[in-house]
Structure 1
Amino acid sequence: MTTTTLDTADKGPAQYGALAVLIHWLIFFAVIALFASMNYAHGLEKTDPLRRTLYDWHKAVGTAVLGLAVLRILWIKIHGAPDLVPSPRITEVIARISHGLLYLLLLAVPITGLGMTLFSGRGVDLLGIPPLAKNDAIAGALHAAHEPLFLLTAIVVLIHVIGALWHQYFRHDATLGRMVPWLRGK
């Protein structure tokens, strides 16, 4: 019988499995790397070869994040997610909204970036993805959406982290241990 968050067998598992945890942290660190690399690249001269290299890696890692996000969403749809630890109703509502928004943004940001690249007449060279027919209108619209969506993602991630830390250090419940294996059982 699967361990449950609550003492009822019809509820979801108490924690995420190893693959779900791995995907979560791969996405987390990839998003940090994407943000850091672009901030650094924007400070370089346009002729600096490192700038082009960083953009190439940014496109490849962003595309990988899209694949990982799809995999994570499918995994949760198939295997389920742990039930929320019982909390005040407003906390549960915030958790559900922020998780849903985070999944949506983990799709939207890479889709806008990939689309912007492909419709700009460039491919994702490191992954062998060729460009689409150049369309400046579509590329421009996707470019206009990409950065604001990423900034919204950063805000939602910050809310997510604050919520996880709140559960760990103020509520003292098992929420954070679901994604941080060494905290399980503490």
Structure 2
Amino acid sequence: MTTTTFESTGKSPSTYGGFAVALHWLIFFAVIALFASMNYAQGLEKADPLRGTLYNWHKAIGTVVLGLAVLRVLWIRIHGAPDLVPSPRITEVIARISHGLLYLLLIALPATGVGMTLFSGRGIDLLGIPPLLEANKAVAGALHAAHGPLFLATVIVVFIHVIGALWHQYGRHDATLGRMVPWLRVKE
């Protein structure tokens, strides 16, 4: 029997379905693009037109990540996720906490960015979202102040997530990483 089911509805006993895997990797690569675009844009002169273009792409991709993260959480709530691979209790606790934090941060971080833009009286140009809110500098400033620490927290939790996945793959030699990396799935 093979545990490499890759269906997009429901869950299999040991793996995520294709849709959940696709959402995972879309979000992953979008978050990398967000980090890269902002890191590069901040190194440019304020008058450089590329800086504004990168900020616009950053806002659009962040908005998409927000939608994808909400969709991912809803998908898992409806269709479930495979049980954790049996591990020491502390490992399971860390996995559950880090996954919960990761989902929370993948919603909160882009939500603060979208909110910051909208409360600045601007829209998300590349997605055709017009300015929906009246400018409110206090709210925009509070969201801006939260965005940086949320980013740092996201980096830390993603680091823990990646280290945990690699530890499962190369330290424990179990099937955990194969749930999101189909070519690593173990065939029985």
TM superposition score category, shorter chain reference: over 0.9
**Cα separation, 1, equivalents of 2:153 and 2:35:** 13
**Cα separation, 2, equivalents of 1:164 and 1:149:** 22
User: Which string of whole-angstrom CA distances, capped at 9 and with x for unpartnered residues, describes residues 9-60 of structure 1?
Assistant: xx96210011100000000011011011101000101111100000000000
Amino acid at match of 2:148: E
Amino acid at match of 1:144: A
Determine if the alignment matches structure 1 residue 184 to structure 2 residue 185: yes
TM-score (norm 2): 0.92
| Partner in structure 1 of residue 56 of structure 2 | 56
| Partner in structure 2 of residue 88 of structure 1 | 88
**Cα separation, 2, equivalents of 1:144 and 1:85:** 38
| Partner in structure 2 of residue 8 of structure 1 | none
Q: Structure 1: which 5+ residue stretches go unaligned?
A: 4-10
- Summarize the Cα distance change of 1:39–1:143 in structure 2 as closer, same or farther, 3 Å threshold: same
| Partner in structure 2 of residue 160 of structure 1 | 161
Give the SS at the match of 1:23. helix
Contact 1:37 1:54 in 2 (8 A): yes
Amino acid at match of 1:179: M
Structure 1 segment 32-47 matched on structure 2, within 5 A: 32-47=32-47
Structure 1 residue 129: deviation in Å? 1.1
Structure with more contact order per residue of length (Cα contacts < 8 Å, sep ≥ 6): 2
**Cα separation, 2, equivalents of 1:159 and 1:56:** 30
**Cα separation, 2, equivalents of 1:103 and 1:51:** 29
**Cα separation, 2, equivalents of 1:73 and 1:143:** 25
TM-score (norm 1): 0.93
Amino acid at match of 1:36: A
Amino acid at match of 2:175: A
Amino acid at match of 2:103: Y
**Cα separation, 1, equivalents of 2:165 and 2:71:** 23
Structure 1 residue 127: deviation in Å? 0.8
**Cα separation, 2, equivalents of 1:162 and 1:42:** 28
User: Which string of whole-angstrom CA distances, capped at 9 and with x for unpartnered residues, describes residues 54-103 of structure 1?
Assistant: 00000000000000001100110111001000000000000000000000
Structure 1 residue 128: deviation in Å? 1.2
**Cα separation, 1, equivalents of 2:13 and 2:67:** 25
**Cα separation, 2, equivalents of 1:130 and 1:109:** 21
Aligned pairs, number:
179
| Partner in structure 2 of residue 6 of structure 1 | none
Q: Alpha carbon RMSD of aligned pairs, Å?
A: 1.6
**Cα separation, 2, equivalents of 1:140 and 1:64:** 22
Q: Structure 2: which 5+ residue stretches go unaligned?
A: 4-10
Determine if the alignment matches structure 1 residue 148 to structure 2 residue 149: yes
